[in-house]
Structure 1
Amino acid sequence: MLKKILGVGLITVLGIILVMNVMESNKETTNSEYDVTGDTDVEGVAISPPGTSGLEIGQFAPDFELESLNGEKVKLSDLQGKKVMINFWATWCSPCKKEMPEMQKFYEDHGDEIEILAVNVTGSEKNETVVRDFIDHYSYSFPVLLDESTNVSDDYRAISFPTSYFIGTDGTIQQPRKVGPMTYDFMVEMLDELN
């Protein structure tokens, strides 16, 4: 009888130790985040598979035609000869929401010097109404284009949001793409660097 009691007690103690180890192991793995960028200021990034690192400086910006929230067709090639900033974003994206007020101020101050195309990745949204309500709620006035099929964001390899490209008057990408929210000062710097 004593052997049975000691055996049950030993099994119970081992069971408790096992449960505690499993709980501690789960706690460690669920709270782990790793910064693989090396840049502690970067937000909105993701690890991407090879070949999806984005378009490079010197490449011609892929042409596209999208409809704006106002119902106008906008074709990138029609803007050749102008400086262009393309910003891929979504309403559910926190870093996108962070940069929107900065982009609005930049548009108000420099909209006559550069074309701003805020391309909403509409295929990732619940519906177009969510996008319209978001823009109306904050009274943003820069052009918002709808990428319903996500073909344009795919062509630009925008897999993290926000992602921005800066295109010169010659139609080529002239600055490294920016992944993560932009500040007003950063946008001004990019504008000044474009030709």
Structure 2
Amino acid sequence: MALGVAGVMALLFGVLIVATTRSDDPKESASSPLVGAEAPPLVADTLDGDTVDLRDYRGSWVLVNFFATWCVPCQVEHPELVRFSEQHAGPGDAHVISVAFQDEPADLKAFFAENGGDWPVAVGDTSSIALDYGVVKLPESYVVAPSGVIVAKVAGGVKADDIDRLIAAASGASAQVGNDG
């Protein structure tokens, strides 16, 4: 009987993993009661030993990205986050803050060492942050305006160009944010 229970538990775990990490087409912003509202607080320890506070980014666009290293769609989207971050590396430009979900610091360090990315990564017990943002599955991202208001939610992996378009649409600009040339 114990083998039967273990088998059922393994099956349920597998279904949970598939359900929480399935990839959606992120071309359109997903609905969320947070869109149009002030972003929930995001204060956490970071992978590099500092503290990240979303309020410190007021005046800049921020992409808050919930992910895990064990999430395959998160792994697929990571190069797009790196690209977006590199395209917006100027002072006062757009920023990325990642919130690691149920991940170990050693795994996160290895992931970023192998795949790049030098933005703040919130670690530790981030479940309350995910709950405040209403995260349903991974990956999930929120575009936060310089005012601190969430202007878009993207369910599934992001594309750098799609985030640029969301920012441009929200700001009423036709040009890419921060790349004035």
Q: Distance in 2 between matches of 1:191 and 1:111?
A: 16
Q: Distance in 1 between matches of 2:85 and 2:34?
A: 25
C-alpha RMSD of the superposition:
2.0
Residue 100 of structure 1: CA displacement?
A: 0.3
Q: Deviation digits for residues 136-193 of structure 1, max 9, x if unmatched?
A: 1223223222152411011101120010001111111112x10101112112212323
DSSP 3-state at the match of 2:97: strand
Instruction: Work out the percentage of aligned pairs sharing the same amino acid.
Output: 27
Task: Normalising by structure 1, report the TM-score.
Answer: 0.67
Structure 1, unaligned runs of 5 or more: 1-40, 45-52
- Name 1:168's counterpart in structure 2: 145
Aligned residues: 143
DSSP 3-state at the match of 2:56: helix
- Name 2:111's counterpart in structure 1: 134
Residue 77 of structure 1: CA displacement?
A: 1.5
Residue 71 (str. 1) matches residue 49 (str. 2)? yes
8 Å Cα contact 1:117-1:144 kept in structure 2:
yes
Inter-CA distance 104–189: structure 2 relative to 1 (3 Å threshold)? same
- Name 1:96's counterpart in structure 2: 74
* Greater C-alpha Rg: 1
Q: Among 116, 138, 159, which residue is 1:183 paired with?
A: 159
Task: Normalising by structure 2, report the TM-score.
Answer: 0.72
Structure 2, unaligned runs of 5 or more: 1-22, 172-181
Q: Distance in 1 between matches of 2:132 and 2:72?
A: 23
Residue 60 (str. 1) matches residue 38 (str. 2)? yes
- Name 1:153's counterpart in structure 2: 130
- Name 1:117's counterpart in structure 2: 97
Q: Distance in 2 between matches of 1:136 and 1:55?
A: 35
DSSP 3-state at the match of 1:174: strand
Residue 194 of structure 1: CA displacement?
A: 3.8
- Name 1:42's counterpart in structure 2: 24
Q: Deviation digits for residues 48-86 of structure 1, max 9, x if unmatched?
A: xxxxx7443211101121112111111112222221110
8 Å Cα contact 1:95-1:181 kept in structure 2:
yes
